[in-house]
Structure formats: structure tokens, C-alpha cells
Homo-oligomer: A and B are copies of this chain.
Amino acid sequence: PPGIVHLVGAGPGAGDLLTLRALRLLGEADVIVHDRLGTEEVLELARRDAERIFVGKARANHCMKQEEINALLVRLARAGKRVVRLKGGDPLVFGRGGEEAEALAAAGIPCEVVPGVTAALACAAGAGIPLTHRDAARAVTFVTGHRRDGSVDVSGLVRPGQTLAIYMGLTMLREIRDGLVAQGLSPATPAAVVERGGTARQRVLRGTLETIAAEAPAWVQGGPALLLVGEAVGRGSAGWAQPALAA
């Protein structure tokens, strides 16, 4: 029988933020091709005898090139395997899932995408920060903090009533602040950094664009971190933290 590839969002890393559909597919998979070290808790929920292939994509450091991952998925499916391609967060938000799906479609391999809780949603819920708010934000933009060439492009991102959720932005934090301020955003705009958002090891640093840019580099402990900026971020409250995390 022909194989199939499921591009599955693992969510932020907490096992219980996985969807029921993803859990079922992990229980049926012959092979699981996974990225990051952040998905251990989710991998625990997979079929015990499924083969696991770590392709080592953790932010900019790829153990395997994207083209090699695409070719691996095609090869496994052609061998008749039920493949789960497990991706942190959601497969179609900064996960390069679109490219994998394109490669599979080009090779005639059936492909199903299962959405997941992307980092911005998990960080917002975990830290008690509304992404939209009737009085403060009518839009939210998810953007990456770095480009292919390593530069930062924040042009056009300053818009009244909009929250920014900047993925993988910490290494470029000062350039991001400078770019946003140059476009007219106040350095006093509320901001937060959420590290390992939505997991039991979540940490939150709250402040303004200015204080976060100054403090976050020394504060961060190396986990995946998301930068949130905007008036709505100031509406947040540690009081809504998840009891499990507050404990």
C-alpha cells in the first residue's frame, strides 16, 4: 500500500497541548521524523515501536538540509510507511511545512497537515497576555526576527492597534528595537519575552520595548523565546498564569 506523510504540529512542547488528532497519528505512525529537542514530551506519546529519525532542526542550526529532509520524507512514503513529520508549534507557521508539502505534492505523495498550537498562542495563554483586545489591539502579526541573510526587517510593522509576536528574535533584539523605534514606535510600548512558553519550564520577562531590549539578553536561558510588543501586552496579568506553572 502507498505511504502517506502527516505534517503534524506538536504545539509548544507540553505533551497536553497536543491535539487529539496528532495523538492518534503518533499512535499509528511507522516512522516519526522530528526536529527539535523541545518535542521530547510529545514523542513520549508516540507508538513505542515507531522508528524515530531526528533531523535536528533547531532554529538556524540544521543537522540535515531542507532538501535532504524533503527527499527522506518522499523515500519513506514510497517505501509504504505511515510517516509523521512532527514539527514544533504549527507546521505552516515558520515551520517550512509549506516547502515539505510542496515537495511531497510534486512527488505525488499523499500529505495531510494537522495544525498545532503555535508558540505565540501558547506564550500568550501561559503568560496571561492578550494578543488582541477590543480596546488595544485589533490585529496580531507573527513575524520572524531574522532573515535568511541574518539581517532584520521590521519595516511596515509599526501599525496602531497591532500586537507583534516576533519568533526567534532574541539574537537580534537591539536591531529590532532600533528598527521599530525608527519607525515611530515608542520605546515605552509594553513588551514581554516568554521563554519555553506553555511548558512547565516557562519564564516571563515583562517591561517595555526599551527595558526588554536592555534586560533580555542576560535574562534568557537558551530556551526558545518569543518577543511580544504592543499596547495589548500591557493588558496582561501574571494573575492569569496557569496554576500548574505558577506552582
Contacts and interface: CB of A to CB of B under 8 A. Distances in A.
Interface residues of A, number: 74
Nearest to A137: B98
Interface in A91-111: 91-94, 96-99, 101-102, 104-105, 110-111
A130 interface: yes
B112 A115 contact: no
Interface stretch (A55-63, A140-148, A172-180): A140-148
Contacts of A96: 134
Nearest to A133: B98
Contacts of A218: none
A209 interface: no
Contacts of A4: 243
Contacts of A105: 237, 239-240
A244 B110 CA distance: 12
A239 B104 CA distance: 9
Contacts of A118: 121
Q: Secondary structure at chain A's binding surface: helix, strand, loop or mixed?
A: mixed
A110 B239 CA distance: 7
B128 A113 contact: yes
B232 A98 contact: yes
Interface in A142-189: 142-144, 147-148, 153, 155-157, 159-160, 162
A71 interface: no
Contacts of A116: 117, 121
A113 B144 contact: no
B242 A112 contact: yes
Contact of A98 (B110, B235, B244): B235
A157 B128 CA distance: 26
Given A121-B118, A130-B98, A138 B113 contact: no
Given A19-B19, A115-B122, 19 more contacts: A9-B125, A14-B21, A16-B21, A17-B115, A98-B130, A99-B134, A113-B124, A113-B125, A115-B124, A117-B117, A131-B142, A138-B143, A138-B144, A139-B157, A140-B141, A141-B142, A142-B142, A156-B156, A156-B159
Nearest 10 Cβ contacts at the A-B interface: A98-B130, A156-B159, A139-B143, A113-B125, A115-B125, A16-B21, A115-B121, A16-B20, A105-B239, A141-B141
